[in-house]
Amino acid sequence: MNRTRHWRARWAIGATAWVLALSCQGVTIAEPPETAGVVVPSLAMMHGHARPYRVVDLKPSIKGTLKTIEVSEGDDVEPGQILATLDDRLAQAAVQVAQAQADQTARIHHAQHALKLAENLVARLTIVGEARVASEFELDKARASRDQAQETLAEAVENQLLAKRKLELEQVRLDNHYVRAPFRAKVLKIDGVPGEMLDGAEALLVLVQLDNLKAELHLPIDWFGKMQVGEQYGMQASKPVDRTLSGRLLFAAPVIDAGTRTFRCVFEIPNADSRLPAGFVVKLHSPTPLDANRREVTDSKHSAAVKQVSVNRTRPE
């Protein structure tokens, strides 16, 4: 403890002597600014990366053996396209059985025929009963047979409906054996080989959507309220693009980061022909939309033209 106090005292004496020495040499020690601890936004914060509009890791929804991979890395795929197939032999058989059961109509036809006969019998006995030829017992018996035939027909219809629902269920289970593209995209990566056992925990394919790119930038607080959602802004792209691009503002965060004194903005960069690669750096130099810049240039040219006409008119002939 005494040794610690001794070293602290020596450090304090040394620091005091250093300050006095600098003062004698005319050096002023600056006081810390009031904004100490606040990160001043730098130009780097106004940079962002143009990323794919969407990136998705595709995993099979069930466990199974990988049967085939239908695409290669770099292929363009359409929504709903089958990209990979798991072993589906049992699922195919289950669908065929369910299809056969759903197509069965013999029980319904038999029940309909039995109901028709029972209804005819009731009608005949009713007529005979009015002539007091048939007994009340025979008529009640015929009516009971008719009611039973109606119940049998309803049961047959319900069973066929259940068979159709079972067919739909088996078709869904079969479809789970296929990995499909959720949207138009490009195959970025394939992790898997036919014959491999998949547990659904790891991604089999990685897809990226490149017809639009997204850029996220953190802009200075001075620009807050000036950025207009939906407007187009000029963005300078780094190599290998190395030119000015147009980006539409999708979102401007209503919350300011107190530490960096910036707010987050997300831009969309059109890339319909997929010529732009994802990953290049973009930067925004002005909070003024492109249309506003064009209007200012047009108004400026118009004003200059009007001024020139006025000058020409005032000149003596």
The predicted-structure confidence for 198-241, as pLDDT tens digits, reads as follows 988 889 999 999 999 999 999 999 999 999 999 999 999 999 99
> 0.85 cut: is pTM over it?
no
What is the pLDDT at residue 134?
Answer: 61
Q: Residues 6 or more apart from 23 whose CB is under 8 A from it? A: 29
Higher local confidence (pLDDT), 12 or 150: 150
The H or E element spanning position 109 is: helix 106-130
Q: H/E/C letters for each residue in 218-250?
A: EEEHHHCCCCCCCCEEEEEECCCCCCEEEEEEE
The model's pLDDT over 177-205, given as tens digits with 9 standing for 90+, comes to: 999 999 999 999 999 999 999 988 889 99
CA distance 116 to 234: 79
**Which residue is it, tokens 């979102």?**
251
Kindly tell me the burial class for residue 205, based on how many C-beta atoms sit within 10 Å of its own C-beta (0-12, 13-18, 19 or more).
buried
Question: Is residue 103 predicted with pLDDT exceeding 90?
Answer: no
CA atoms of 136 and 264, how far apart (whole Å): 88
pLDDT value of residue 297: 44
Note the pLDDT of residue 105. Answer: 84
Q: pLDDT tens digits for 104-163? A: 888 888 888 888 888 887 788 777 766 565 677 777 888 888 888 888 889 888 888 999
Query: Is residue 111 a contact partner of residue 152, using CB atoms and an 8 Å limit?
Result: yes
Question: What Cα–Cα distance (Å) separates residue 169 from each residue in 82, 105, 109, 157, 173?
Answer: 20, 20, 26, 19, 6
Query: Could you tell me the two tokens for 171?
Result: 């078709």
Task: Give the pLDDT of residue 65.
Answer: 95
Q: Which segment of 20-34, 61-75, 85-99, 209-223 scores lowest on mean pLDDT? A: 20-34
Asked whether the predicted pLDDT for residue 22 surpasses 60, the reply is no
Asked if residue 158 lies in contact with residue 150, where contact means CB atoms within 8 angstroms, the answer is: no
Cα 144 to Cα 237: distance, rounded to the nearest angstrom: 85
- Average pLDDT over the chain reads 81
Element (H, E) at 144: helix 136-175
